[in-house]
Structure 1
Amino acid sequence: MSDQLPDGGDELSPEEIEALDARWSSSWTPGEVAQRLAGIGTPWCVAAGWALDLFRGRQTRDHGDIEIAIPEAGFPEVRARFPGYVFDAVGSGRIWEDASPEELAAVHQTWLRDPATGNYVLDVFREPHDGDTWICRRDETIRLPYREVVHHTRDGIPYLAPELVLLFKAKHTRPKDRRDFDATVPHLTGAQRATLAELLARVHPRHVWLTDL
């Protein structure tokens, strides 16, 4: 991603950002996303809170939206799966509607919008990578093959490894992130807990979660 945001776009006030929540009321489920991306060549996975529910095997709470992660180079293939929809680029409190390639290149977060309703249905994270190697956008020294990063449910829905989901959630530690941590850690294997502790120590030294691992 570019270090400099592009010109244009709309700066959103805190009230406008809060009002966007209502536009996610029609967001898809993981199963619906999997149906739309069936057979796609680029690796992808459900991320964030939904990924933890897929790991645990059941929905444990309401989700205001749904996020998926893909390698940056795979975005054109993903984009081609959604004719009739529009991608908006989002970052640093700004939004670029129907974003140009230059605007998309400047941020990693992309919202898929239904132009007929104005509602958002899918949040696409375009991640750094080196071929088949996933690169953590919080610390580029953390690199893992996609075969280790992407797990699958019994019915084949791909989701981000839970220890990596919690690593990303550790940055803000909102109340829902703490609840997700508390609900997920008992289900992690010893190896997953050790990996999460190691990565937290690298990315967020002295994080409060380290004492719980």
Structure 2
Amino acid sequence: MNEMKGFQKPWFIAGGWVVDIALGRVARQHDDIDICIYREDVKEALRYFEGWDIKVAVPGENRLVDYVQLNDLSLPRYCLHLFREKDFIEVLLTERKENDVLFRKNKEITMSITDFALKDCDGRPYVNPVWQLLYKSSNPRDKDNDDFISCLPIMTDQQKKWLAKGLRIMKPESEWIQRLSS
């Protein structure tokens, strides 16, 4: 991810690409690239992307507003849309507390930073696929179900347990829970 090479804070590839990275192959087409950073590093990201057109996604309203000041990113807002000519990057702001990353939709769900922040064989940082799948589970589209099915055979027992536990909290009726225990 060339756009992030000079960024000096932790960052991770997120979204559907994490499934492909974990699989070691491109399993499906992707519309964009999502990057995850810790919320505490947002000022550094804003400086880093100076010169880009920065928009803030408004949760639940399906709209973007111009970024003007840091308060524009107050919770519950968590997503920046960055535009420069033909380039587009979505930046997801993630909270952490000490050595744990907090799941945005329910802060009782956590994952240790060492389990959350993975690297592929080329050293590219990416979010643990099960973290991403838990987000995708809330209202799964066909591509989200495909991502789950693709990931299932490569999940460790620890990843399956973590995802099943998160699903029982977030979406207890999820069909994925039974598949995780099979």
TM-score, normalized by length of structure 2? 0.89
1:9 is aligned to: none
Inter-partner Cα distance in structure 1 for 2:28 and 2:5 = 22
- 2:67 is equivalent to residue 98 of structure 1: yes
| Contact residue 89 and residue 99 of structure 1 kept, 8 A | no
1:110 is aligned to: 80
Change (3 A) 1:50 1:173: same
Inter-partner Cα distance in structure 1 for 2:110 and 2:10 = 15
More strand by share: 2
2:163 is aligned to: 196
CA-atom RMSD in angstroms: 1.6
| Contact residue 43 and residue 146 of structure 1 kept, 8 A | no
Change (3 A) 1:108 1:32: same
| Contact residue 47 and residue 159 of structure 1 kept, 8 A | yes
Structure 1: gaps of 5 or more residues = 1-30
Once the 2 structures are TM-superposed, how far is the Cα of residue 144 of structure 1 from its aligned partner? 2.5
- 2:128 is equivalent to residue 149 of structure 1: no
1:87 is aligned to: 54
Inter-partner Cα distance in structure 2 for 1:99 and 1:53 = 35
The one-letter amino acid of 2:74's match is A
What stretches of structure 1 move > 4 A for 4+ residues in a row? none
1:136 is aligned to: 103
Quote the sequence identity (%): 25
Inter-partner Cα distance in structure 1 for 2:38 and 2:99 = 9
Change (3 A) 1:52 1:209: same
Written as runs of structure 1 = structure 2, the 5 A alignment for 1:157-176 is 157-176=124-143
TM-score, normalized by length of structure 1? 0.77
1:5 is aligned to: none
- 2:146 is equivalent to residue 179 of structure 1: yes
Structure 2: gaps of 5 or more residues = none
Inter-partner Cα distance in structure 1 for 2:53 and 2:81 = 8
The one-letter amino acid of 1:111's match is H
